[in-house]
Structure 1
Amino acid sequence: MKSLELKYLKELIEYRLDSYFGKENLMTKPNMPALSQWSLSIPSIIKEANLNDDEKLVLLLILCPHIESNLLDEVIKSKLESTGDFPQLGGVRGKNFRGFLPTGQTALFLLAGDNSKKRKEIQEIFNTGHFFEKNQILWLEDVPEGEPKMSGKIIISQEYAHLFIFGEPSRPKFSMKFPAQIIETEMEWEDLVLDEDTSKQIQEIKTWITHGNTLLNDWGMHKKIKPGFRVLFHGPPGTGKTLTAGLLGKHTGKDVFKIDLSMVVSKFIGETEKNLASLLSKAEKTDNILFFDEADALFGKRTSVRDAHDKYANQEVSYLLQRIEGYRGLVILASNLKNNIDEAFLRRFQSIVHFPLPKSAERLRLWKKAFPSKVRLHNDVNLSKNARNYELSGAEIMNVVQYSCLRALAANKKTIYQEYILSGIQREFQKSGKIMR
């Protein structure tokens, strides 16, 4: 049994074809069922948009091949006496999908017929600035130069098609168009050791993730503040910036996408902006978290203009600033040095969070949490002394613990000796060029 919305679409096509060919005993024009009666999962953005019946029909028309692939072909063939083309109905065949795919002309035929005033109204649905286009829900495919715009195929984004059918957003796949990988962690908040000020600021971010939509929509602040939330994490390597981003996603039910900047930044003029626009367009449909590690490469300071290249580079940074500012979700930029980020970005961050190197008390907590439960520490191990004497980041402490455990395994033991730990610390100091005292 067909759903109400597909039954309506079938009857509307039959009604329009019968009307066009002037057949007797015409059907009564069907009524569009309310969205609440549709069997599809309706995204909240669609529910809140107050779409008119024409807009709902366009949406239903392009969803149909994704839901019941043969419905349009069956209805059309049953009403047309020949299998030849019927140009007024529009439609094309895909490269892989050989069924009927609606075009703008299909929408014009079903909704306006020969009514020129109504045809203009329908074309507005596909114009730049319409709700569908602004939110990258559906649009018309570009047509060859000189051909009518409305002959273009109607395209619905794969993300929204998935959302309508399955009721949840699809995860974008890593590709040249979406150069981002999901950060996942098995650690919990209690495993993260931060100082008090940093912890308070992280709590503020968690509050925005939980209540941001309420603030913007229910409390009406969308008229006064920009959507989204922009955060800068800055501090030395290994102080918990990436782990914090992963935990924010894990405990708020959102994916955290770490952007591969090597695939975004390009030496070719215009390519960086194009790459970022494509990435953000896909990410916005998922309502997840974007994490730009080593963000200096993309959001670095603008320079004084000495030549055309400098001028273009500054324009590029300005574009990135505008695009990030319009992103509706949480964007986290991470940098080792706050001063490397352009001041125009800094002014627009809702939160700037410093991740300092851990102090002695915090290093002791890290040491105590770091060792696996299956090993024991020899009596000569003094974690308090190690924490007090050696300034290490959380990541460096974990490297020392890993080294010590491997030493124990190599010796076929389950005991960690101070000698192992000191050797590991020595190795970490050598990496950074520091002298161990």
Structure 2
Amino acid sequence: MTDAPPPAALATTLDRELHWLATLIHQRIDQYAERDDPASAALTLPEPPELLDRCAYGAAVPINRLSADERLALILALAPWLRPQALDLLFVRNANLDRGFTEFGGRAHGLATGFAPTRQTALFLLAGDALDRRLAAMTLFGADGVLVRQRLIVLQPDDFAPWLPLEPHPELLARLLRNPG
């Protein structure tokens, strides 16, 4: 597998990251639905997948020393472009309120019917109801965080507003989608 040409290495690496994201979404939703005590909603992230360093994404993660939390936020931001159906589970409706779950964040994706993740979505996946973990995770989106500094996600006008979109930086999209090698 390591002898794959660069476009195949990128596809394999992103496929692994997206599978990891889908696994985490399923685990978080299952854990959230079955909880007895919301305060004890800590979830251990599944181990991130192995990266192929022969592609832009696989090389960027170690170069930027991205933590598992940062990797999760990054692949979540990229999911609407790469595998939008991976986010469909987050459309589940709260039967008590007849609308989506506030905790899951997200927005309608323009004119499309897809789920556009927000910072709230990332905070839910990373922290659930664990307030200490949530507060720590909010720093991922600030101007001094590696995701913004390295132009992996878009800097939003408010570092801490959870309702703001979680968007990949256009330069990252160009590197990955226009030149997959």
Q: Does 1:33 align with 2:49?
A: yes
1:112-131 correspondence runs (5 A): 112-131=127-146
Greater percentage in strand: 1
8 Å contact from structure 1 (residues 141, 155) kept in 2: no
Partner of residue 70, structure 2: 55
Counterpart residue type for residue 36 of structure 1: L
Pairing partner for 2:152 from 132, 137, 143? 137
Report matched runs for 1:337-356 at 5 Å: none
Q: Retained in 2: the 8 A contact 1:61–1:102?
A: yes
Residue of 27, 41, 44 corresponding to 1:15: 27
Q: Secondary structure at the match of 1:152?
A: coil
Shift of 1:11: 1.3
- With over 3 angstroms needed to count, the CA separation of the structure-2 counterparts of 1:9 and 1:136, relative to structure 1, is same
Quote the Cα distance in structure 1 between the aligned partners of 2:122 and 2:100: 17
CA distance in 1, matches of 2:118, 2:155: 8
The aligned length equals: 159
Structure 1 residues 7 and 167, CA gap change in structure 2 (3 angstroms):
same
Opposite residue 124 of structure 2, the aligned amino acid is F
C-alpha deviation, 1:68, in angstroms: 1.4
- Quote how far apart the aligned CAs of 1:21 are: 1.2
Identical-pair percentage = 27
Tell me the TM-score normalized by structure 1. Answer: 0.33
1:45 Cα offset (Å): 4.2
1:86 and 2:101 are equivalent in the alignment: yes
Q: Distance in 1 between matches of 2:148 and 2:140?
A: 9
Cα 1:29–1:168 shift into 2, 3 Å: closer
C-alpha distance in structure 1 between counterparts of 2:31 and 2:162, whole Å:
22
Q: Which has the higher contact order (CA 8 A, sep 6+)?
A: 2
Give how far 1:164 is off.
2.4
User: Which stretches in structure 1 are left out of the alignment for 5+ residues?
Assistant: 170-437
Distance (Å, rounded) in 1 between the aligned partners of 2:79 and 2:125: 14
Q: Distance in 2 between matches of 1:164 and 1:80?
A: 33
Shift of 1:95: 2.4
1:113/1:9 CA distance change after superposition, 3 Å: same
Write the deviation string for residues 102-131 of structure 1: whole angstroms up to 9, x where unpaired: 111101100011212211221111112112
Find out whether 1:153 has 2:165 as its counterpart.
yes
More helix by share: 2
Contact 1:104-1:154 at 8 Å conserved across structures: yes
Q: CA deviation at 1:136?
A: 2.5
C-alpha distance in 1 between matches for 2:109 and 2:94: 23
Query: Given the two structures, how large is their TM-score scaled by the length of structure 2?
Result: 0.73
The 3 A distance-change label for structure 1 pair 11 and 40 is farther
